[in-house]
Structure 1
Amino acid sequence: VAAAKHHTVCLAEGTGEVYTWGCNKEGRLGYKAVDSQPTPRKVAAIKERVVQIAAANKHSVAVTSAGDLLTWGCNAKGQLGYGTTDAGCNATPRLVEALRSGCVKKASASKSHTIVLTKNAEVWTFGYSKVTPQRVFFGAAESRSGARGKKIEYHNDHTAIFRPDMVEVAGGGAPPPPPPR
């Protein structure tokens, strides 16, 4: 289960089917024609077996058993990886063409970006107006030791990339202050 602020994405064990419910603004549930869905509903547009899911405030992602990445929802910051910043509704799950080679192992969805870990430990990210996937290079450490990503995690606007030798953290600003009492 991947729970976001206003919607939930669930992966059915055994079948690899994806179910969503909650607010469907900007198509974050993966289907059209409803404003909200109070109970789990299958995302019929996904024909492939899915092995991993993630959800953020306004978009959702799925990794297929073939190692492809599907994304849907809001794309205002390029977080869907389509090569555009179409802020409208992207309700139909779509393949991220730049990562089509079947190399995706895991994906995480953050507020305005998506981060991907490949099967050969490369880390790719898109969003925050970088509309096509960009590989994350670890500079001298990578060229010296071959150090690459081992695990990826996110929270809101922050991403952590776990490497065998260290943890890299990148991200945006602090959360807003609490309201006055």
Structure 2
Amino acid sequence: MRWFGFGFNAFGQLHVCESVTNSEVGKVVKVINPTELKCHLNGSCCRQTSGVRASWSRRASLHSNGGGSLCLAGFNGGNDTLLVESRGCKDAAIGESFLILAFADRLESWDLNNNQKTPSWSMDVKTSPVGDGMPLKLPLISDGYIATNPPFYHPLSPHLKATRLALGAEHSILLSATGAVYTWGLGSHGQLGHGGLSSEEEPRVVEALWGMTMACVATGGWHTVCISDGGDLYVWGWNESGQLGLPSQAVRRTQQCQNSQQAAGMSSCKATPDEEKEEVFISIQAFPALLDITASCEVKSADCGSRHTAAVTSTGDLYTWGWGEYGQLGYETSCSDEPQRVEYFSKQKMRVVDVTCGAWNTFAAVVKEEAADSYS
């Protein structure tokens, strides 16, 4: 697979131009058009990359060749640098201060702000296979989950039998082996999906989805999405930047202002009361809402940035929406509350097979259309 990235690039987490020195890494702040990740490992290019993990200022590229290893790019790194201590790792989670590596028999946490030769925290684990026999991936381990800030490890009740867990800025969403969805943490933006704005200290099932089997979950800063096993996408939480794909008053005002300025050279604008009454706007969606991206295909995978969302369809198209100030939507706009297809990949005859988001950027795994059948 080949991996492409776009969005926030102030620390060189997407790419560093040859003309930019280490002291000027922040010169190329945003990348709007998808750009192939050019990391190299022992002479093998990024097409050997099996996965990407991202935070606000950093990117970690996982390589399956050579027994597993990881390259870091971004803050304090710039171009991709092989982390020697990662050899043999199976998965990783990256934050602003710590990098957590998962090996077959242990977890290690490395302080990214110190050049230490030993991990700051480690834990022996035995990952048990679930469902289809695949091992649990970070942030899940066999009896708890991993966060990117201390204390790193949190135990989970055994009855949950979790298969996937996503961590937002201040909330968590868990997918159980039965396909039920649980959330807990801060609820002030409706991101828990329980119909109110209250917080929850313990995992609580999202009753609105009870009886429907879910296959995938993801979180942004203060919004949440999940995909049913039938390919339906459900969204809830904060919609200030249109990250739910639902009508956002702030987004429409921004778009109206930009259109007016372009048409008349105005320095400021304001929507009229009649214009605002024409449509019902949603700033917080406290219950799961079904979002139709297209009528002709299913959603296969999705991920969230801080205030944007990306989804891959069964036809191999990538759709994005929400905040796009740094190009993280893959097209020119400051924000969008309607899912739009990233046209770059279809024009290049590429099919998107996976997507992952950093806070302000997006990474897509693609294959050529003639090789796409093996990934469908």
TM-score by length of 2: 0.41
Q: CA deviation at 1:117?
A: 0.5
**Counterpart pick for 1:70 among 234, 250, 273:** 234
* Corresponding pairs, count: 161
Q: CA deviation at 1:88?
A: 3.0
Distance in 1, Cα, partners of 2:200 & 2:295: 30
Distance in 1, Cα, partners of 2:167 & 2:224: 10
Contact 2:245 2:337 in 1 (8 A): yes
Within the alignment, does 1:109 sit opposite 2:304 as a pair?
Answer: yes
Within the alignment, does 1:44 sit opposite 2:207 as a pair?
Answer: yes
Distance in 2, Cα, partners of 1:151 & 1:23: 29
Contact 2:187 2:196 in 1 (8 A): no
Q: CA deviation at 1:100?
A: 5.1
Indicate the residue corresponding to 2:365 in structure 1.
162
**Structure number having the greater helix percentage:** 2
- What secondary structure is seen at the aligned counterpart in 2 of 1:45? helix
**Counterpart pick for 1:120 among 308, 315, 338:** 315
Indicate the residue corresponding to 1:132 in structure 2.
338
Distance in 2, Cα, partners of 1:99 & 1:31: 27
Aligned AA for 1:80?
L
- What secondary structure is seen at the aligned counterpart in 1 of 2:367? coil
Distance change in 2, residues 1:56/1:10 (3 Å): same
Q: Which runs of 5+ in 1 are unaligned?
A: 166-181
**Higher radius of gyration, 1 or 2:** 2
Indicate the residue corresponding to 1:179 in structure 2.
none
Q: Deviations over 1:63-82 (max 9, x none)?
A: 01110100000000000012
Distance in 2, Cα, partners of 1:110 & 1:101: 26
Contact 1:54 1:62 in 2 (8 A): yes
Q: CA deviation at 1:49?
A: 1.1
TM-align CA RMSD = 1.8
Indicate the residue corresponding to 1:168 in structure 2.
none
Indicate the residue corresponding to 1:83 in structure 2.
247
Distance change in 2, residues 1:8/1:104 (3 Å): same
Aligned AA for 1:154?
C
Contact 1:24 1:36 in 2 (8 A): yes
Aligned AA for 2:203?
P
**Counterpart pick for 2:353 among 113, 128, 150:** 150
TM-score by length of 1: 0.82
